[in-house]
Chains A and B, each alone.
Chain A
Amino acid sequence: MPNMEFQLGLALPTPSIIKGFDLNNLGLDHPKDMCGLEARNKPPRCFGDKSKRSFEQAFGNFEAECKTKTLLLLWSGQPNEEEDHNDQKKRTFSTIDDRNDAEEVDQVVGWPPIKTWRKKIFQQQQHRVGRIGNNRVADKENGSRSIYVKVKMEGVAITRKVDIRLYHSYQTLTNSLITLFAKDKKCADDDYTRYILTYQDKEGDWLIAGDIPWQSFIRSVQRLKIVRNWG
């Protein structure tokens, strides 16, 4: 397979429509400009390569020549000497770009490909969740008074978020959570009375939900957790 790269410079199997228009034979053959033609086909240092190619091969001759980049990409995973796909999920890209807002520090520019105005809507919601540091929302700007809290169920990988403003009692909240997590529960546990709903209050303490009036509860709750009741 690597040999194919070099065959490319010679007689290319071009389709009948476009014949013999190969600019590879012009201009760029000048030795001064070659500067390692092979190196050009390898990704520059800027982004990590998770394919079979070894990490060292990914370094071209670009480092020495191309210093002026305002975009710094940090590799926050481990070098991929062999096929080690187990690491892939944990890898993230970090981009430091002076031009972007602080909220974009941890993201590759323009990825995932979501239109800017859609991103704004998501970021509004995420910011609401993250503001004041405890997953609460008090967004009066557009009239919405959603309160998103994270809900974790013991034994389930997914952490969900619910807007507790949508409910008016413990009963409606638990019913909704039951429906939500119904498909996630393990087959072995099929009796819901064995779960209890706990919450973390403003002081950081974990308490059993249901003791205080609903209105006090929604003012106080920071997170929810559904745990197995062994007692």
Chain B
Amino acid sequence: MQKKVACSFPDEVLEHVFSFIQSDKDRNAVSMVCKSWYEIERWCRRKIFIGNCYAVSPRMVIRRFPKVRSIELKGKPHFADFNLVPDGWGGYVLPWIAEMAGAYPWLEEIRLKRMVVTDECLELIAKSFKNFKVLVLFSCEGFSTDGLAAIAASCMNLRELDLRDSDVDDLGGHWLSHFPETYTSLVSLNSSCLGSDEVSLSALERLVGRCTNLRTLRLNRAVPLDKIANILGRAPQLVDFGTGTYGADLQSDVFSSLAGAFSSCKELRSLSGFWDVVPAYLPAIYPVCSRLTSLNLSYVTIQSPDLVKLLRHCPSLQRLLVLDYIEDSGLEALSSSCKDLQELRVFPSDPFGEEPNVSLTEQGLVSVCLACPKLQSVLYFCRRMSNVALVTIAQNCPNLTRFRLCIIEPRTADFLTLEPLDVGFGAIVEHCKDLRRLSLSGLLTDRVFEYIGRYAKKLEMLSVAFAGESDLGLHHVLSGCESLRKLEIRDCPFGDKALLANAAKLETMRSLWMSSCAVSFGACKLLGQKMPRLNVEVIDESGPPDSRPDSCPVDKLYIYRSVAGPRFDMPPFVWTMDEDSALQVS
């Protein structure tokens, strides 16, 4: 039998070839070819993405990939954004930083999402990684500006500091002055989430002035409008700018210097911020509007006519975030001005009011979908919807990859026919063949899940609330959606049957969240017992679930695949169902 010569290239050549392969999926595929490729690949993998920090342990990662330079970790489940995950649940990054401090002295990039980061972590990062360049803390919490000061003081090669959406204990703006006067490497700074009234303006201005490579600067609300001109004057090369407060008494000299500053920013493509807008100051940005591709007006509480006036100046817009003050008429105007629109997010200005306070309906979204053929990503809050509107959207926007619709009142039917919205969402999944993310709302029966299971073959993430009638709904999704990675469900009548019947499917997914459903404690125990590579965690703040009968439904359930076994940093209200739990007397 003749053996084929597997590969006669020296390792260095293979390594060089592999260096062109950046995507994780391709890297994983490369490592499965043969043992020698596995070995070579693991020594030259520089970038790691871990979608669930509990799926693997730091030691295991370090053991396999000894030379990592960039790591991305995600912690809490997505529903933590909406207060469904109690405080103290977990997602601590300290164990990771502690291990990496020793193992990866040349680590350059840390990107975290929904994790608990402490000042101690930040100080450890500052101390341990001499070539540290990128820190992104997306929706993180647990740290203060003191920790940021440590980063600023020590990381001479820092390029990017992005705190987007994080909950930071802002002790005032002095942390900015911890950047040494010799420090000039900053390329991107996003401190828009900082909430203190104090900010060290002079430190900020000096920092901006000496960092000539600065491309992204997103200020926080404390920075007043009359300082913008000065800051922009020092950074005319900015590509992405977020203002602080954009309101003040109208003064013509302030206005003209503001307008002048904006017009000298020839590279500016993205604007955000705009807290407390005074409409009279908006025309100051007109000089840059024709080049703008991204505009975040989601804090702008001005009415539709003023919004439309601004948007008419932005024909190149690809991405728009806006409040529902824009109304249907404003969206119609948008659809005629901004033909290149790819992403639209419309947030509710009064989500908890019982009566609508703006004239925004399904019509607004329909008019955009009819006129903007490049639309790919939609997030839309409204109070009514119809099947016919959804079908129109589906037929006119087959390129949608993300479609998230939130009809504010749960279980709202088609307002025209009073039927469920099954057919409408069915059209979305049928026509939008590349749909990766879907959020459902409104009145929905099991039928919508039948459509989803049948058509949504590329769907990776599904969010479901107040929908469905029986386990059949969940079964359709788990058995039909081949690409499903994340499934999050709340307040649906899904119980044990579909979950147990599709237990193996759960190992092919990153995670499943179910809260206020009908999954029994007994089923959770069974899953935990039979599926050793799944962590089955029950979250229940009302007491130990085994103090109630097994048939009682659990409050919240989070199931995720893991090679690290059950975690040991659980708070008292989280119980893990492992192999031993079935033996416990209930």
Contacts and interface: CB of A to CB of B under 8 A. Distances in A.
Interface of A: 1, 4-5, 8-9, 12-15, 17-18, 21-24, 26-28, 33-36, 40-44, 46-47, 49-51, 53, 60-62, 65-66, 68-70, 83, 85, 88-89, 91-93, 106-119, 121-122, 125-126, 141-144, 146, 157-163, 166, 176, 179-180, 183-184
A33 B522 contact: yes
A13 B84 contact: no
A219 B418 CA distance: 46
Interface in B523-581: 523, 526-527, 529-530, 541-543, 547-553, 555
A70 B541 contact: yes
A5 B471 contact: yes
Nearest to A14: B479
Interface in B292-312: 298-299, 301-305
Given A40-B496, A42-B493, A126-B352, A70 B501 contact: no
A112 B497 contact: no
B549 A107 contact: no
B498 interface: yes
A18 to B, nearest CB: 4
A72 B552 CA distance: 17
B82 interface: yes
Contacts of B443: 50-51, 88
A114 B321 CA distance: 14
A23 B495 contact: no
Interface stretch (B200-208, B407-415, B423-431): B407-415
Contacts of A183: 329, 359
Nearest to B507: A18
Contact of A179 (B305, B413, B520, B523): B305
Most B CB within 10 A of own CB, among A5, A36, A110, A159: A110
Given A18-B504, A26-B526, A33 B351 contact: no
A117 B347 contact: no
Q: Classify chain B's interface size.
A: 35 or more
A115 B350 contact: no
A42 B518 contact: yes
Contact of B526 (A17, A28, A93, A166): A28
B335 to A, nearest CB: 16
6 tightest A-B CB contacts, nearest first: A110-B82, A23-B500, A35-B551, A21-B504, A40-B495, A43-B493
Interface string B470-487: 111001000110100000
Contact of B503 (A21, A44, A85, A146): A21
A108 B518 contact: no
B278 A166 contact: yes
Contacts of A40: 495-496, 518, 520, 551, 553
Contacts of B139: 115
B142 interface: no
Contact of B548 (A1, A68, A160): A68
B355 interface: yes
Interface in B159-196: 165, 167, 193
B486 to A, nearest CB: 15
B410 A93 contact: yes
Given A15-B479, A180-B303, A24 B359 contact: no
B351 A28 contact: no
State the main secondary structure of chain A at its contact with B: loop
B12 interface: no
Nearest to B329: A183
Contacts of A50: 411, 443
B236 interface: no
Contact of B299 (A70, A121, A146): A121
B527 A114 contact: no
A118 B352 CA distance: 13
Nearest to A165: B278
Q: Is the interface of B mostly helix, strand, loop or mixed?
A: loop
Interface in B392-445: 406, 408-413, 418, 420, 439, 443, 445
5 contacts: A15-B479, A23-B500, A28-B500, A70-B541, A180-B303
Contacts of B550: 33, 35
A9 B499 CA distance: 12
A14 B552 CA distance: 27
B84 A110 contact: yes
Contacts of B336: none
A23 B294 CA distance: 49
A60 B470 CA distance: 13
B355 A159 contact: yes
B224 interface: yes
B352 A107 contact: yes
A8 B497 contact: yes
Nearest to A67: B548
B497 A9 contact: yes
A144 B165 CA distance: 22
Interface string B493-520: 1011110111111001000000010101
A34 B470 CA distance: 17
A180 B306 CA distance: 10
Nearest to B224: A143
A28 B502 contact: no
B472 A109 contact: no
Contact of B356 (A114, A126, A158): A158
B472 to A, nearest CB: 5
B551 A23 contact: no
A41 B518 contact: yes
Given A51-B445, A146-B276, A160-B358, A33 B551 contact: yes
Contacts of B493: 41-43, 49
B42 interface: no
Given A8-B475, A15-B479, A112-B348, A23 B82 contact: no
B479 A13 contact: yes
Given A12-B475, A126-B350, A108 B410 contact: yes
B351 A122 contact: yes
Nearest to A15: B479
A163 B277 CA distance: 11
B39 interface: no
A43 B518 contact: yes
